[in-house]
Structure 1
């Protein structure tokens, strides 16, 4: 894989470069947001971008937003030393596909990168026809979502979580079931990560439209209102 690492901690960036290069990947490194943004927009295509959230200059979320605004679909894995779902959701809202909180295992990082690259290479997977709940419509084949006439941009992971819920309208779906269906390597991942993606989905498919379609089922997980909220 060709991987772009944007990380201002030089020791960590060098460790990532050496480790990923040893696995046979071609790695390019930027230590600040300006250089990282320039490489992301002009030196691609990359297979995956590994992006620190806190950077000198443009931050990781801004870089990701700019990439998506330019129509760049490259999978983005956000790295952050911050804690809390709101910080992780910042990267997801900007269009990132996944995140890891520092410190992290290099083994887990490698698995996440490979999963993102596989998903991007495979393209839209065969699956159900267009899913609909009220005016909320999801086309898993074309990876398009809309509420009424308004298109909604979702990351690959957000799309997977929403499809998992829309395939079971009105039914409670456990966090672990969502994790098993949407994540390529769910073993060892805290099921509470699903909360981050549900929070991001609510901000995109519900809040701007005054709706409440994804409901929390306490002690279990979530369910999608059959009428789309």
Structure 2
């Protein structure tokens, strides 16, 4: 079995990658700025947790030591984390190469390269970092992350339908993140992004209008 380092393994998508990797008998190291304590929702028995920060590189070599694959589920939405999102990817890949990691897989968003919003631009910038890497890399594109949609819909009535999205935070996409990208060719794509989100009652969500899907026009 492989040793897999999951960067951002305490987030929505990362936790599912950790769970499924452990279920299949792999050794798992989780890289996180704030590792959870035993008993926390984000904690899985059997995984090794490392405090690390890809914006500075601190703790990253220890988390990657002995890994065969690194799965990058890191997320950044505001502030310093967003500004250094792509650069953090470069740090992670550089340390992975130094540690002898064979492959790197990252989670991204459909059509992120077709938007001018900073959140999407950071995703597209990081994709280019992965494309330039000397490592064998894979980029998995799905629709909006659950964490992103929750932040947007907190200001409006879209939460119910956002939770049912087939995005990186949904169970279907988290399963795909684990089952396909580590071992299959580049080019996996998620489902198309809808142009706007609607509530179950059929009323249009203003939150989705203010945060348009990339490439939706």
TM range (shorter): 0.3 to 0.5
Q: TM-score, normalised by structure 1?
A: 0.41
Q: Quick one: higher RCO (CA 8 Å, sep 6+), 1 or 2?
A: 2
Whose helix proportion is higher, 1 or 2?
1
Which structure's CA Rg is the greater one? Answer: 1
Answer 1 or 2: which has greater strand percent: 1
| TM-score when normalising by structure 2 | 0.43
